[in-house]
Structure 1
Amino acid sequence: MMKAVTRTRQWQRWVCSSCLSQRAVPALQRRRFSNSPKSAAVEIEPIIPASHAPPLYRDEDNTLRSVFDYPRFWREFSSHPGGVSVGLFRNAYLKEPRGFLTFARVSLRKARAVVSKVLAASSVQEYRAIVRDLDRLSDILCRVLDMADFVRVTHPDRNMQRMASMAWDMVYQYMNELNTMTGLHDQLAAAMANPDVTAVWSEEEKTVAEVLKLDFTKSAVNLPKKYRDRFVELSSEISAVGSAFVQEMAPDQDLIVLPSSDLRGMDPLQARELTRGGKVHLPTMSGQAALALRTVHDADARKLIYYASRTASRRSVELLEHLMRLRAELATLSGFESYGHLALRDRMMARSPEAVDKFLRALAENNRPKAMQEMAELLAEKRKAYPAVKRLDPWDKDYYSDLIRRPLRLTGRQGDLLSPYFSLGVVMQGLSRLFTDLYGIRLVPKQPVVGETWHPDVRRLDVMSDTEGHVAVLYCDLFYRPDKSPNPAHFTVRCSREISEAEMAEVWQQSKQDPDVPPFASPEYAANDGMTFSRQPNKTIKQLPTIALVCDFPHPSGHGEQQPALLSFFQVETLFHEMGHAIHSVLARTSFQTVSGTRCATDLAELPSTLMEYFAADASVLGQFARHYESNDPLPYRMVAQKVRQARRFEASDTENQIILAMLDQALHSPRAAQPDFDSTEIFHGLQRTYGSAPPDPPGTRWQGFFGHLSGYGSTYYSYLFDRVLAQRVWEVVFKSGDRGAALRRENGERLKESLLKWGGSRDPWKCLAEVLGDERLAEGGEEAMALVGSWGSTRQN
């Protein structure tokens, strides 16, 4: 029933030198903005720069750049005279590591009180409050789980990580008990069946009720006890086998040993590092092996590398197939035809494997001619060296793709051409300007107080609305640290939710009686654990979305304080993508946390983030901010266009591979997994032969044993492709429309926000899409709507 959703598996305007605030930039740093001769390194037409930031927010705009680009400015801005810690994220329990356990214990006492209230409900008035009570119960638990999940993977203090893990375990164990508590399910069902109760519920309350009901159903709460016990056993075993599959994943052959002469074409420095006694010892699952497949001239050497890198160990495949069989049993126990039917029933737009199949087949049909054309181009490239050849071999694809891409690459040192135009501060400045243009919200640096952040590098930004004031808190942990995960991620540490007067009074009273509860200044702060909240015009109190973005960008101090962190274009896309998740959490400030922000249909969650990647490559958007960090020259846009063309050169072939993987995910979670002759290798190779235009994997290979996403996605891997198609469609219909500057127009941003983003999971996503795209064919969803989306395709024009 209760879910902790923390991350979801996945760009702005320049400021001319005369407008820089003398207060915002210290003199030593300010010198870098003086006008200098234009660089003549690349003579390409520049983008036309936009006017500088609105005068009302100019100081904020300049400060935003400075806190990310200039370490000295940041130290001065973030310095404070000291004082008592306010707790991590201003959570008053988290002033020291053991506070996590106190936070968990107090939260569990609150949760049990809510459960008792729900179980005791008997009057119409009490039943009317059940959805709000259950949402509050979920929020109480998720406040601990989401916070602990973030801390245990990001916080640099090992003791803090350990206490967060202990708190997480305490609360998660209780949550599992709730998921099989028949009394809560029965009370919710009784409330939903009573017209006198549902008549006063808002549409959002009705949606939350349906979500909670489905969560209970998926937990087998309606089954007899012995089946519920088996459900728990299976769930535990699935978790263990899934973890083993991912952690023990290995190739059948760990090392490939070849004569050094066979690796001609590979970077000689890398080859030399791997050479011992005239032999190259190439780790099978390594970046060097992937590089060899792209660059080694000898086809026989590539063949050996290909076989090794596409053949998982038998142990890996056995674990994978065992995991699929366990999931099939769980689905049967729960009354579903397959695990795919079970997984797609809850919070998915597709709703069934049959609808996913319609989408993938339509997408494959749209994509196939382009993929075949790309294969023909690769064969033509191969025939330049071997005129008599009739076909491509599987180990040819990467090699000849790389040969064709090479002329598209920018000349000179790759890292020096685009990154000087993308200092981190400038990109953050640009993001704020884009959000101001589209949604009337901006990012404002806020001085952190003692104990609020987990590392001195973390910047706090307040998200401010022109009309609603303070709407969210965003913590940016964007610089590399050796003890931090390198994977970019968006965490919703706390969701939006409306807090009633009765709840505040109850928590305020508890704070005076419970010795574990820290002292709070007011009922509002007590109800928010000390964290930031907002008061609406109607006096309603809302807990503010609290978001953390984590990346691993180069630290400016690594280059001396004269140079800010400079991002590659790929890193700019990454930051835009993660900020797309954040803006979804910011704009979808619903009254119920169960449906707030990214807690929407799982196969819709990547749409806002994928859409942001289109903004990152748009000329008018880049014209808002992209400037050389030293000369202040505008970015020559053709450099970006060339970079994008290179990345998309074989996009149809890449899409075809993703389609086959999504089909594999569906097939392995279908009723076939319960059959005695279930063979994942034959299923994978069969899909390649049926739907691939590229040469299929040869017999003897077992690549599916490396497909770790099968553990985490479990029948929902198609979501990546689905949201790519939707993002492209939204971009073309709402923002691009052949009109330069459409990506910056407020009416277009408002259309997206009002039709889709602001709803989170509180409205039927198909109706949201139908409205934003102006296409009523989508409004009811179903198999035909999925097929329609697939027919649009996802391969963009170069």
Structure 2
Amino acid sequence: MRLLNRRCLALMGVLGGAKKYVSTLSPLGSVFNSIPAPKKSVWFAGSKENKGLFLIPELRSDPGFEMLKYAAEHKVEDLVEEALSPKRKRKIVTIFDEISNTLCCVADTAEFVRMSHPDYDFRLAAEYAVVYLSNVVESLNTNTDIYNVLKEVLESGKDVVPMDAVDIRVGNLFKFDFDLSGCHLSKTKKETYVKLSESVIMTGNMFMDGCHSSVELPKDKLPEHLRYCFNLDGDNVLIGGNHLDHWNDQVREAAYKVYHYPNESQVKLLDALILNRHRLATLAGFPSFAHRALKGTLAETPEMVEDFLNALSDRVKPIANKEYKELLKLKKEKASSNDQVLRSWDIMYYSALGRHQKYNISGEEFSPYFSLGNCMEGLNIVLKSLYDVTLQNVEPQNGELWSDEVYKLAAVHKTEGVLGYIYCDLFDRPGKHMMDCHCTIRGGREQNDGSYQLPIVVLNCNFSRPVNNIPTLLTPGLLRNLFHEFGHAMHSMLGRTKYQHVTGTRCPTDFAEVPSEFMEIFATDPRVISLFARHFRTGEPLPMEAIQNFCKASNMYAAIEMQVQIVYSMMSQKLHGRNPLEKSTTELYAEIHNQYMGVPYVEGTAPHLRIGHLNGYGARYYSYLMSRAVASEIWQQCFKEKPLNREMGERFRREVLAHGGEIPPKDLIKAMLQKPLTIDDMVDALVQKMND
């Protein structure tokens, strides 16, 4: 214990000013380590004291969504009239942003409620509001009158009030949204464009549904000794996943081949999705859907993305080859079959085995040191050190919440006061949206009276609830997820943009993940972890040697994992390139897999039909890798020596987080690093992070 304390004290200089951690939890940590108590703040009908969901008075009950959507529509009509008026006195971009803010405040709230509210009537009312407002948005995006006003202002460079660089950039972003809706096209082409857009949405949603569907087959199709390893339904076997963590090689092989067997319906849906996206892009004047999707992003062009991915692949390949050799050696020693070749279904299982053998660690061993309360303490340490911001628990008002298990936090700056609010919906419950995500309820923006509209977000996770005297305990992966999502939240909290259209995470996809990937690095740094990793019962700190082993184990086989991401990223580029569907999507996947992975493609399978991000991210799947590269370069250059460095934290806030999407990403990164960022820089940063 004394040795560890001396070690922690020695780290204080390296950490850049962090204070010695004590075992007693703060009020914030205590709240998150407690079993959620029933709250009067949970929505309930008929109460005169009900202040409404998110303190929106209309949302005292579900019919409030109808009032909100009509009120928003009427306000938008007035704003459109103002935009078209020859006597207009405000900048056109200011009016457009007010239109956007009016719709987003209702639509974003409704979208979240539709996914997560436990009350069916509330969810249904929210869904009706989402559909209704989507039609309002579609009508606006095809309104040629307001489009022409905006276009004229941007082409002339003159408005009723002089415009600055931010006004012009945001105005062009609004114009691009119009262009994406085909507003600039002739009537005939516009009709075609709308039909294609509807088809893309419909087929994309259907493809997503199929990505997670179980496979059912007669049980006599499997050897008898394997069929009982899966769920049985009468004479059929149900296989709902890869089973990649199963100890038996034959079980993993059977599950992989069956689960990834080409589903003809998925093949047709993906083909239709890709083809209609290409038609949309070419109709709008782009060479490919990838060119359309990457306009205005950090990467800018598909060619730059492929150069980045190929350069990264070349650097990662020799490291990955060494990792494959380690895993093959393990397989030869431990395999339950006679197969002497490393297969796709082997990687996850033998990677976990390799980590355990080398460092003798398991999630069960580490989780008691990572109670949710302790991890929230860790977040507070990082945020206080970097930005002088603390997370403070706020007592919610009656009717403000949708579940007893939700906590409301204020992000409070030492001198600037409250920056915004974060609702933490962190525990699993029936009917709740399963993805970990950051949802914007209200974006920040400058208001007409000079005040600032404070941002409101929800962090959605699916952790296990505290039970009896045991708080929620996080695995290493869940710890990283928590820090990742709070990276998004702080992007929203610290943003101080003029317009809500570009606030916080409303920026190019390949830049939006930079703050979250950056925060995730803190959850893997031994110096930071040592400040909050304590046993939830005894308060004993996790020994530094164990922390270092924990971090090293997390980084093992990182090159192989990166190759997987390169395959998916390259697949999304090729599918959305200039000549899509020159060959079948399965042939394309096999070709890319064999080029970029160190294990052979499994004949007769189509894993790409399970990649849901091909719908949601389209040609931007590379965004995670590029964002991680940027975050790693910022870490290497500015934080590696002193992770909790206030000077660099303030620079990151001032030069990056504050601006959201109102400044091009390349300019933000250049201001932070004080130099332009190249492909070689990004690749070097990722490889260096792996080596660290």
TM-score above 0.5: yes
Q: Which residue of structure 1 lines up, in the alignment, with residue 142 of structure 2?
A: 180
Residue 290 of structure 2, aligned match among 322, 329, 340:
340
User: 3-state DSSP class of the match of 1:566?
Assistant: coil
User: 3-state DSSP class of the match of 1:237?
Assistant: helix
Q: Which residue of structure 2 lines up, in the alignment, with residue 454 of structure 1?
A: 402
Q: Is the 8 A contact 2:41 2:399 kept in 1?
A: no
Q: Deviations over 1:773-795 (max 9, x none)?
A: 2323x3xxxxxx34652454356
> Given the superposition, is the C-alpha separation of residues 416 and 46 from structure 1 closer, same or farther in structure 2, using an over 3 Å criterion?
farther
Q: Is the 8 A contact 1:312 1:704 kept in 2?
A: no
Q: Which residue of structure 2 lines up, in the alignment, with residue 797 of structure 1?
A: 691
Paired with 1:491 and 1:743, the residues of 2 have a C-alpha distance of 28
Is 1:117 the counterpart of 2:82? The answer is yes
> Given the superposition, is the C-alpha separation of residues 679 and 429 from structure 1 closer, same or farther in structure 2, using an over 3 Å criterion?
same
User: 3-state DSSP class of the match of 2:405?
Assistant: coil
Q: Deviations over 1:506-549 (max 9, x none)?
A: xxxxxxxxxxxxxxxxxxxxxxxxxxxxxxxxxx2111000111
User: 3-state DSSP class of the match of 1:704?
Assistant: helix
Q: Which residue of structure 2 lines up, in the alignment, with residue 162 of structure 1?
A: 124
Paired with 1:314 and 1:215, the residues of 2 have a C-alpha distance of 34
Q: Which amino acid aligns with 1:796?
A: M
Q: Which residue of structure 1 lines up, in the alignment, with residue 586 of structure 2?
A: 681
Structure 1 length as normaliser, TM-score? 0.79
Q: Which amino acid aligns with 1:361?
A: N
Aligned residues: 678
Q: How does 1:266-285 map to 2 (within 5 A)?
A: 283-285=238-240
Q: Is the 8 A contact 1:722 1:790 kept in 2?
A: no
How far did residue 732 of structure 1 move? 1.4
Q: Deviations over 1:342-401 (max 9, x none)?
A: 1111x4111221111111111111111111222233344455589x99854555545544
Q: Deviations over 1:68-99 (max 9, x none)?
A: 223488969999xx852111111122111101
Q: Which has the higher contact order (CA 8 A, sep 6+)?
A: 1
Paired with 1:686 and 1:405, the residues of 2 have a C-alpha distance of 30
Q: Which residue of structure 1 lines up, in the alignment, with residue 195 of structure 2?
A: 233
How far did residue 767 of structure 1 move? 1.4
How far did residue 181 of structure 1 move? 0.9
Q: Deviations over 1:435-462 (max 9, x none)?
A: 1111011111111111111112221111
Q: Which amino acid aligns with 2:27?
A: T
Q: Which residue of structure 2 lines up, in the alignment, with residue 70 of structure 1?
A: 34
Q: Which residue of structure 1 lines up, in the alignment, with residue 636 of structure 2?
A: 732
User: 3-state DSSP class of the match of 1:351?
Assistant: coil
> Given the superposition, is the C-alpha separation of residues 703 and 54 from structure 1 closer, same or farther in structure 2, using an over 3 Å criterion?
closer
Tell me whether 83-92 or 786-795 shows the greater mean CA deviation.
Answer: 786-795
User: 3-state DSSP class of the match of 1:111?
Assistant: helix
Q: Which residue of structure 2 lines up, in the alignment, with residue 605 of structure 1?
A: 512
How far did residue 735 of structure 1 move? 0.8
Q: How does 1:438-477 map to 2 (within 5 A)?
A: 438-477=386-425
Residue 54 of structure 2, aligned match among 79, 89, 92:
89
Larger radius of gyration: 1
Q: Which residue of structure 1 lines up, in the alignment, with residue 431 of structure 2?
A: 483
Q: Which residue of structure 1 lines up, in the alignment, with residue 312 of structure 2?
A: 363
Gaps of 5+ in 2: none
How far did residue 718 of structure 1 move? 0.5
Q: Is the 8 A contact 1:359 1:788 kept in 2?
A: no
Q: Which residue of structure 2 lines up, in the alignment, with residue 406 of structure 1?
A: 356
Q: Which residue of structure 2 lines up, in the alignment, with residue 133 of structure 1?
A: 95
Q: Is the 8 A contact 2:487 2:518 kept in 1?
A: yes
Paired with 2:445 and 2:534, the residues of 1 have a C-alpha distance of 39
User: 3-state DSSP class of the match of 1:548?
Assistant: strand
Q: Which amino acid aligns with 2:620?
A: T
Residue 636 of structure 1, aligned match among 540, 543, 547:
543
Q: Deviations over 1:575-598 (max 9, x none)?
A: 111100000001112120011100
Q: Which residue of structure 2 lines up, in the alignment, with residue 770 of structure 1?
A: 670
Gaps of 5+ in 1: 1-37, 264-270, 502-539, 779-784
Paired with 1:645 and 1:169, the residues of 2 have a C-alpha distance of 48
- What root-mean-square deviation, in Å, do the aligned CA atoms of Structure 1 and Structure 2 show? 3.3
Q: Which residue of structure 2 lines up, in the alignment, with residue 549 of structure 1?
A: 459
User: 3-state DSSP class of the match of 1:234?
Assistant: helix
Q: How does 1:416-565 map to 2 (within 5 A)?
A: 416-501=364-449, 540-556=450-466, 558=467, 560=468, 562-565=469-472
Q: Deviations over 1:461-488 (max 9, x none)?
A: 1111112111101111122222322322
Q: Which residue of structure 2 lines up, in the alignment, with residue 614 of structure 1?
A: 521
User: 3-state DSSP class of the match of 2:300?
Assistant: coil
Paired with 1:634 and 1:382, the residues of 2 have a C-alpha distance of 36
Q: Which residue of structure 1 lines up, in the alignment, with residue 155 of structure 2?
A: 193
How far did residue 746 of structure 1 move? 0.7
Q: Which residue of structure 2 lines up, in the alignment, with residue 21 of structure 1?
A: none
Q: Is the 8 A contact 1:260 1:275 kept in 2?
A: no
Q: Which amino acid aligns with 1:749?
A: G
Q: Is the 8 A contact 2:231 2:239 kept in 1?
A: no
Paired with 2:28 and 2:165, the residues of 1 have a C-alpha distance of 39
How far did residue 139 of structure 1 move? 0.4
Structure 2 length as normaliser, TM-score? 0.90
How far did residue 117 of structure 1 move? 0.8
User: 3-state DSSP class of the match of 2:316?
Assistant: helix
Q: Is the 8 A contact 1:497 1:544 kept in 2?
A: yes
Residue 68 of structure 2, aligned match among 96, 103, 110:
103
How far did residue 339 of structure 1 move? 1.0
Paired with 2:585 and 2:40, the residues of 1 have a C-alpha distance of 59
Is 1:203 the counterpart of 2:165? The answer is yes
How far did residue 603 of structure 1 move? 0.6
Paired with 1:631 and 1:614, the residues of 2 have a C-alpha distance of 27
Is 1:296 the counterpart of 2:296? The answer is no
Q: Which residue of structure 1 lines up, in the alignment, with residue 613 of structure 2?
A: 709
Q: Which amino acid aligns with 1:708?
A: G
> Given the superposition, is the C-alpha separation of residues 469 and 274 from structure 1 closer, same or farther in structure 2, using an over 3 Å criterion?
closer
Q: Is the 8 A contact 1:67 1:74 kept in 2?
A: no
Q: Is the 8 A contact 1:367 1:793 kept in 2?
A: no
How far did residue 310 of structure 1 move? 2.9
Paired with 1:357 and 1:237, the residues of 2 have a C-alpha distance of 28
How far did residue 54 of structure 1 move? 10
Q: Which residue of structure 1 lines up, in the alignment, with residue 661 of structure 2?
A: 761
Residue 319 of structure 1, aligned match among 263, 269, 285:
269
User: 3-state DSSP class of the match of 2:162?
Assistant: coil
Paired with 1:483 and 1:276, the residues of 2 have a C-alpha distance of 24
Paired with 2:5 and 2:359, the residues of 1 have a C-alpha distance of 18
Q: Which residue of structure 2 lines up, in the alignment, with residue 694 of structure 1?
A: 599
